[in-house]
Amino acid sequence: MNQNNQAIFQQEIEDVYSNDQTLLISGALIFFNVFVMLFVGLYWMNPLLHEFISGRPLL
């Protein structure tokens, strides 16, 4: 009985953390990080973008 419960528990864990979900979440996280890095870099280095977003010229 105990081995049967362990096998069911192991199968549920594998179903919850499937490979597709891990790949999707990892890809979304990497995409979000790259987007934020590009946005911050352009915001501080591009005077036109900085002025468009903040309304003040870049010093």
Residue 47 pLDDT greater than 70, yes or no:
yes
What number is the average pLDDT over the span 2-23? 72
Whether residue 4 is contained in a domain is answered as no
Q: How far apart are CA 35 and CA 56, in angstroms?
A: 23
**Does residue 49 lie within any of the structural domains?**
yes
Residue 28, domain member (yes or no): yes
Residue 6 confidence class, pLDDT cut points 50, 70, 90: confident
In a domain, 53, yes or no: yes
Instruction: Let me know if residue 6 belongs to a domain.
Output: no
Q: How confident is the model at residue 16 (pLDDT cuts 50, 70, 90)?
A: low
Which DSSP string do the residues of the chain spell out, in sequence order?
-HHHHHHHHHHHHHHHT-HHHHHHHHHHHHHHHHHHHHHHHHHHH-HHHHHHHHSS---
Question: Which domain does 54 fall in, by range?
Answer: 18-59
pLDDT of residue 34: 98
Per-residue pLDDT for 57 more than 70?
yes
Number of domains within the chain: 1
On whether residue 47 sits in a domain, the answer given is: yes
Cα separation, 39 vs 49, whole angstroms: 10
pLDDT of residue 14: 62
Residue 2 maps to a domain: no
